Amino acid sequence: MDSPPDCATSTAMRNFNWMYNVLSLCTSPKIKSFLWRTLSQALPVGATLASRHITSSVKCLRCGGDEDVSHVLFFCPFAQTIWDHAPITSSPSFRRALSTQDKLSEARALLNMPPTGVTIPLYPWILWQTWKARNSLCFQNREFSRIEIISKAVTEARFWQQAQESIPKSLPFQPPQITTPPSEIDIFCFVDAAWTSSSLFGGMGWIFRFGSSRLEVHGTLSRLVFLWPQL
């Protein structure tokens, strides 16, 4: 007895290696988010919008076929021409009618052609540009050729790769600086003062001596001083 489609999809999602195929993929965060939405059937394609009663049209604008995620990214004749001309080594099994999960699992084995100068996986960027081209056609009535889509994918992947290479992997280790607290110094203060009633002048002096060293600060001062009897 065959399992219902929803049950089969749920089982495939549980068996899918998210860490290997998405989370640990060497690509930009926006691409990972896009792949996550792709696998979760969360992209706003015709079939998804129709199932939520947002639109009644499920047709692909390019070929007229039923538009779901797999159709847009892999099975549409236009998407197939992109994969046929992309600078990657494609295995025969990748061209079979597989589920989106199986497609992305097998895509991990795809290798880039040397002239691209891209060593990170290129297929996520091809998927991303294919999706952006679909949106441009739907919302702006602007159509991109397969050559333009592939060129954009290679260029953006190369720029992102170069940006990661320019970021230092780790900062050089700097040991923490240990500051020595100031040593305690005994300060001795000596003061004296005198005053004469006849001249009303008073004099005072002071000496500050720092510990056992010979360093000292001293000074004197004389001024007219009035003393009241009640004081």
How far apart, in Å, are the Cα atoms of 21 and each of 15, 36, 111, 157, 214?
Answer: 12, 10, 15, 17, 76
| Domain residue ranges in the chain | 24-165, 187-224
Looking at residue 47, its amino acid is A
Alpha-carbon torsion angle 152, 154, 156, 157, nearest 10: 150
pLDDT band at 201 (very low <50, low <70, confident <90, very high): confident
Of the candidate ranges 40-54, 55-69, 142-156, 197-211, the one whose mean pLDDT is the lowest = 197-211
Helix (H, G, I), strand (E, B) or coil at 213: coil
Greater model confidence, 215 or 157: 157
User: How confident is residue 180, by pLDDT bands cut at 50, 70 and 90?
Assistant: low
**Is the confidence at residue 105, as pLDDT, over 80?**
yes
Residue 230 has pLDDT above 50, yes or no: no
Q: How far apart are CA 90 and CA 83, in angstroms?
A: 8
What does the alpha-carbon distance between residue 196 and residue 222 come to, in Å, rounded to a whole number?
A: 12
Q: What is the pTM of this model?
A: 0.67
Q: How many whole angstroms separate alpha carbon 169 and alpha carbon 152?
A: 27
Q: What are phi and psi of 12, to 5 degrees?
A: -65, -40
Beta bridge partners of 223: 202
Under 8 Å between Cβ of 187 and 212:
no
Q: What percent of the chain has pLDDT over 90?
A: 45
pLDDT value at residue 221: 80
Give, in order, the Cα–Cα distances in Å from 87 to each of 35, 113, 117, 176, 222: 20, 5, 11, 50, 96
List pLDDT tens digits, range 109-132.
899 998 888 999 999 999 999 999
Per-residue pLDDT, averaged over 70-98, amounts to 86
Question: E strands, the chain, where?
Answer: 88-89, 111-112, 187-195, 201-210, 216-224
Using CA atoms of 65, 17, 95, 91 in order, give the dihedral in degrees to the nearest 10. Answer: 160
